[in-house]
Amino acid sequence: MKIYLASFLEPENFGPGRVIGIVNGEKPKYVRCDTKFDPLTPKQTLTDTYNDMAANDPLNASEAFVNGFTAQLDEFCEDVAKSAKEKDQSPTDILPFKDGDTLASWERGDYTNYRVLVAPFLKKLGYDVVVN
């Protein structure tokens, strides 16, 4: 099953399925994004901490964000694997994604973005991931 990771600002990189937000706050009005998947969205406290630190200590702000978000993704992955095992199903069977869905955040593909952190976890769960 193929999942796309892309920026709301680059709809040409979307897959043919639904667009699912992995971002807090507003979604663009020009993109149909009816749902958000919280487990792959950085927690607001993590984003707030990054924003507070970024002006004065950008290197440590980035490191804190990456470490915190990776821990969040690790926990998600472990929970999904455990649940799938208990139900005797594959992780892709219990998650809500369909072939061709796009998980979208704001940052363009050429800029630093957290989609690159999400991709390996989705691959570990059995998805074919296209990262833009």
Q: Please give the pLDDT value at position 109.
A: 83
Give residue 37's domain range: 2-131
29: how many CB neighbours lie within 10 A of its CB? 7
Q: What is the CATH number of the domain that holds 57?
A: 3.40.250
* DSSP string over 44-65: HHHHHHHHHHHTT-HHHHHHHH
Give me the percent of the chain exceeding a pLDDT of 70.
100
How large is the C-alpha radius of gyration of the chain?
15
Please state the domain count of the chain: 1
Q: Please give the pLDDT value at position 128.
A: 98
Residue 84 has pLDDT above 90, yes or no: yes
State both tokens at 46. Answer: 């993590």
Q: Please give the pLDDT value at position 73.
A: 98
Work out the pLDDT band at 112, boundaries 50, 70, 90: confident
Residue 131 has pLDDT above 80, yes or no: yes
What are phi and psi for residue 34, nearest 5 degrees? -85, -10
Question: Could you tell me the pTM of the whole model?
Answer: 0.93
